[in-house]
Structure 1
Amino acid sequence: MAYKTLLSVATSPDGLLTTVSAAAQIAQAMDAHLDGLALGVDRTQVGYSYVGSGAVVIAAALERAEAEARETEAALNAAIGAQPQALRSSVDSVVTQLGALTDVVAARARYADLVVLPLPYGKGRGIEDEAVTEAALFEGMAPVLIVPPSGMKPGEPKRIVVAWNQSREALVATRRAMPFLRRAEMVQIVVVDPPTHGPERSDPGGLLCQMLVRHGVRAEVCVLARTLPRISEVLARQVRDVDAGLLVMGAYGHSRFREAILGGATRDMLEAAEVPVFLAH
């Protein structure tokens, strides 16, 4: 069981090497192909204008987006060129308006086994970075690996934390992460403040652990009290305590008109991510 098609989407030349290096590491470990997509995003939203001026604004914005796409494509090619020659890869570029970005990314993400993206929040990141992540997760229906600025440790993640809360999203994420989980030396299923009433009240995480062990995963369960204000803070502390190289969790979204946006728990975890975070919805 392995990922065979990886996709990495770039919206700017900044920080590409870290993300591409993580994607290349996974691609080589699993004998996969890495597809790179460079985006030039037209961010103009022309509501009204004087006669003739709208066309000028649109033309200028399109020209700027095309220039950004060429610059990002060159940086993406350079980042891939810095990887070992054995890496199989390809790079495309697309110019799109911000409103159509979801469809563009989703169309590519649906045919990828794993989408590898940079952290969508922080210095130098814009609204299009969060939109790319949401498009891959919610519309593209693909698992997404978010790589923080610190990158991914050399070698496959040897120690992995799985955030478990009995939800559909958490189960989907765990199943989609199986290629990582089966290769890990230790997988810790972390349950924070399990409910006193429910199907798993007597053995939180037990059934999930049983399922993973039957797949050859070296899994164990760790039940933690919520000793910090946010569950994301408890998870982050546990990741540091066990020196994990990967966190697996469900991606939660809320409806905002037609767009799905990352929910509070997911966003909190990503904003403070110190290791790669594997998400699925």
Structure 2
Amino acid sequence: MAYKSILTVAAAPEGAGIAVDAGAKLALKGDAHLEALSIGVDRTQLGYSYIGAGAVMIQVAMERAEEEARANEKALKEALEAQGPDLRSSLDSVVAQLGAVGDLVAARARYSDLVVLSKPYGPAAGPEAEAVVEAAMFEGGAPVLIVPETGLASATPRRVVLAWNQSREALVAARRALPLLKTAEQVVITVVDPPVHGPERSDPGGMLCQLLVRHGVKAEVSVLAKTLPRVSDVLARQCQDLDAELLVMGAYGHSRFREAILGGATRNSLEATQVPVFLAH
């Protein structure tokens, strides 16, 4: 399935241009439509109002959220206009309380083939940035492409690292990424410290490689030892060694609460990545 409906969301002007540029490259390559959504967030309320909350305070918070929405809309509009007349796109702007951001993004993501976002971590990123990513994947059921500051080099990445740990999430990510995998010159299925007594102990990644090859993917398997403290570090080094232009991985293999407290391969990869990361749950 090709990506025909692509969504990008901006909750801050920073990173909006990077996400639009990446989404536009994919849209132009696949003759798709790029939808941009600007969100102004009222962070004083969580989706409900407190009894006794002053009308003046609520009004000030809403005005501030509307100003943010306009600033985000301006950044998105400038980025879209810079792509040229061949891009089919649309732009909407909304204001929401912090607790309602997830529902708003999920409603749009459900009808998108792919959601393209800038990194949700960094000095300019607020709590709503991570909420947007999670809402798109969990409630929206859409794969998400996270684009770092360096941007997306090409709509057809030449070399791709596909993280594989035999999980449902990793398999979903591989299937959702097929349009990108099929155009790559090399897809390296990377297995880090496979379990000795696992179902794939004799041929780690072999069945996935067979599945992808039958789809025309130029896939191969690389089994690596966990020579660095974290799996995300091993994957990052693999991307660097192969000069990969994309990392594909399943997102949040265990509970998001534990992921937030302890980190995990998903969060660590997003925080430190220098290449775009394709995520699906």
TM range (shorter): over 0.9
Q: Following TM superposition, by how much is the alpha carbon of 1:193 offset from its aligned partner in structure 2, in angstroms?
A: 0.4
Matching of residues 47-86 of structure 1 within 5 Å: 51=52, 54-86=54-86
- Which stretches of structure 1, 4 residues or more, deviate above 4 A after TM superposition? 46-51, 260-263
Please show how residues 239-278 of structure 1 align to structure 2 within 5 Å: 239-252=239-252, 254-256=255-257, 264-278=264-278
The one-character-per-residue Cα deviations of 1:196-255 (angstroms, maximum 9, x if unpaired) are: 102100000000000000000000000000000000000000001001100000001525
Tell me the residue number matched to 2:122. Answer: 122
Deviation at 1:154, TM superposition (A): 3.4
| Secondary structure class of the residue paired with 2:94 | strand
- Which whole-Å CA distance do the structure 1 matches of 2:92 and 2:117 have between them? 16
- Aligned equivalents of 2:150, 2:44: Cα separation in 1: 32
Map 1:149-164 onto structure 2 (within 5 A). Answer: 149-164=149-164
| Structure 1 residues 99 and 262, CA gap change in structure 2 (3 angstroms) | farther
Q: How many angstroms apart in 2 are the aligned matches of 1:89 and 1:21?
A: 12
Q: Any stretches of 5+ residues in structure 2 without a counterpart?
A: none
> 2:104 maps to what in 1?
104
**Which whole-Å CA distance do the structure 1 matches of 2:85 and 2:261 have between them?**
38
Deviation at 1:71, TM superposition (A): 1.6
- What TM-score does the superposition give when structure 1 sets the normalisation length? 0.95
CA distance 1:233–1:183, change in 2 (3 Å): same
Q: How many angstroms apart in 1 are the aligned matches of 2:273 and 2:265?
A: 12
Change (3 A) 1:171 1:48: closer
2 CA distance for matches of 1:80 and 1:184?
Answer: 26
1:132 alignment partner in structure 2: 132
Change (3 A) 1:81 1:262: farther
Q: Any conservation in 2 of the 1:192–1:225 contact (CA below 8 Å)?
A: yes
User: In 2, Cα distance between the equivalents of 1:183 and 1:262?
Assistant: 36
Match of residue 229 from structure 1: 229
Q: Quick one: distance in 2 between partners of 1:181 and 1:150?
A: 21
The alpha-carbon distance between structure 1 residues 119 and 26, as it changes in their structure 2 partners (threshold 3 A), is same
TM-aligned CA distance change 1:142 to 1:43, over 3 Å: same
Deviations 1:259-280 (A, max 9, x none): x999621001100010000000
1:163-242 → structure 2 map (5 Å cutoff): 163-242=163-242
CA distance in 2, matches of 1:60, 1:18: 31
Query: Is the 8 Å Cα contact of residues 254 and 263 (structure 1) preserved in structure 2?
Result: no
Superposed CA RMSD: 2.1
Match of 1:7? 7
Q: Is the 8 A contact 1:38 1:92 kept in 2?
A: yes
Counterpart residue identity of residue 147, structure 1: V
Q: Tell me: CA distance 1:155–1:49, structure 2 relative to 1, closer, same or farther (3 Å).
A: closer
Count, aligned residues:
279
What is the rounded CA distance, in whole Å, between the counterparts of 2:182 and 2:256 in structure 1?
A: 34
Kindly, what percent of the aligned residue pairs are identical? 65
Aligned equivalent of 2:44: 44
Report what 2:29 is aligned to. Answer: 29
CA drift of 1:84 comes to 2.6
The separation in 2 between residues aligned to 1:27 and 1:263, in whole angstroms, is 33
> Which shows bigger deviation, 232-241 or 155-164?
155-164
**Letter of the structure 2 residue corresponding to residue 185 of structure 1:** E
Taking the aligned partners of 2:40 and 2:64, their CA distance within structure 1 comes to 8
Q: Does structure 2 conserve the Cα–Cα contact (< 8 Å) formed by 1:170 and 1:250?
A: yes
- Measured after TM superposition, the shift of residue 93 of structure 1 is 0.6
CA distance in structure 2 between the partners assigned to 1:174 and 1:113 by the alignment: 14
Q: Give 5+ residue unaligned stretches, structure 1.
A: none
Change (3 A) 1:196 1:137: same
TM-score between both structures, scaled by the size of structure 2: 0.95
Moved more, 64-73 or 229-238: 64-73
CA distance in structure 2 between the aligned counterparts of 1:156 and 1:265, rounded to whole angstroms: 25
Instruction: Find the residue that maps to 1:183 and give its secondary structure.
Output: coil
Native 8 Å contact 1:3 1:30 kept in 2? yes
Q: Deviations over 1:131-172 (max 9, x none)?
A: 101110111110000000111113521110000000000000
Distance, in Å, in 1 between the alignment partners of 2:215 and 2:114 is: 20
**CA distance in 2 between partners of 1:69 and 1:233 (Å):** 36
